[in-house]
Amino acid sequence: MDADAYRQEGLAAVERATTIAELDQARIHYLGRKSELKQALREVRDRETGMALNATREAIEQALATRQGELDRAALDRTLTEETVDITLPGERRRRGHLHLITQVRRDVEDAFVGLGYHVRYDREVETTEYNFDKLEFPPWHAARSPRATFFLDGDVVLRTETSPSQIHEMEERQPPIYMVSIGRCYRRDTIDATHYPIFHQFEGLAVDRGITLADLKGTLLHVMRELFGEDRAVRFRTHYFPFTEPSIEPDVSCGICGGSGCRTCGYSGWLEMGGAGMVDPAVLRNGGIDPEEWSGFAFGCGLERVAQLRHNVPDIRVLWENDVRVLRQF
């Protein structure tokens, strides 16, 4: 066999190859096990022929490697140009969700109280009548004890009707001074309408310290209402009755729509009802293991839905539970 001619032919074939497949064919044809060259190498008898054939093999191997590199690079170049992304094309905007309005309000309430040094607690929603009613000094005849007003799970287990049981839990777990706010869901057998829903949220504050007075309650509520509704708000108290406070009051915040002059939202009174409050009844302090001779306290409770509705003029509480994104997106 003519080693030189074979080399020429082999190199030419390698050079002609324009694809990896063609290159592989050339490799198999000129260097493969059944190639003329391998056959000749197997039959070689003298040193000179052997060297010549090996030189040819090496030359073709070398050429194959070089060509392989060239074809690989060309393929890469092609993908790089063909598969470019046009980053100037407008992208597909991915819609981001956001917190539900009630969650936003809850966090704002937490911030307002944490700013005053209060700590936040979340208590159980399934309560015993002992904590939901008895220790809060609900009289036996109180309407809230009726299964027509309250969801009973058992004779003495209810879905809590308010966050007030947290007052007792807090007092039993801690020694005064106490400054806490409890936030969470409450349940009542209410007929659904624009301002009622059987599931709702409350925040409940409790302060127990030496020499606490109604003035402290008023200052605290004024601060919180201004945090939630704006600096221009005022707060007033009306007397009321709650089983666990003495005296009991209902705090109002001045209407933000009319600025206090009277409009439809506030029923032309200039004031909006914000929940209940009062000085903690000495009997309740005692039920929580605290000596009323040494300590006094105030408490208040208010609905998160109420805050949300007033803040955004949401006319119907039901939309907060329907979770129609077209509505939720607005807050």
| Shortest distance in whole angstroms from residue 171 CB to ligand DAH | 13
Size of the site for ligand DAH (CB under 6 A): 12
- Nearer to ligand DAH by Cβ, of 3 and 235: the residue is 235
CA atoms within 13 A on the CB side of 114: 9
| Shortest distance in whole angstroms from residue 329 CB to ligand DAH | 31
| Shortest distance in whole angstroms from residue 133 CB to ligand DAH | 11
- Nearer to ligand DAH by Cβ, of 184 and 276: the residue is 276
Binding to ligand DAH (CB under 6 A): which residues in 147-176? 162, 164
- Where are the strands (E) in the chain, listed by range? 119-121, 126-128, 152-154, 157-159, 178-187, 199-209, 235-240, 245-254, 271-273, 276-280, 296-303
Asked if 172 and 131 touch (Cβ cutoff 8 Å), the reply is no
Binding to ligand DAH (CB under 6 A): which residues in 213-252? 242, 245
- Nearer to ligand DAH by Cβ, of 162 and 305: the residue is 162
To which residue do tokens 């129609």 refer? 324
- Nearer to ligand DAH by Cβ, of 229 and 300: the residue is 300
Q: Which residues contact 112 (CB under 8 A, 6 or more apart)?
A: 223, 224, 227, 228
| Shortest distance in whole angstroms from residue 298 CB to ligand DAH | 7
CA dihedral sign of residues 70, 74, 80, 83: negative
Q: How far apart are CA 316 and CA 17, in angstroms?
A: 77
- Nearer to ligand DAH by Cβ, of 102 and 277: the residue is 277
Binding to ligand DAH (CB under 6 A): which residues in 263-302? 275-278, 299-301
68 exposure class (CB count in 10 Å sphere: 0-12, 13-18, 19+): middle
| Shortest distance in whole angstroms from residue 328 CB to ligand DAH | 26
Other C-beta atoms closer than 10 Å to the C-beta of 67 total: 22
- Nearer to ligand DAH by Cβ, of 17 and 208: the residue is 208
Binding site for ligand DAH (CB under 6 A): 162, 164, 204, 242, 245, 275-278, 299-301
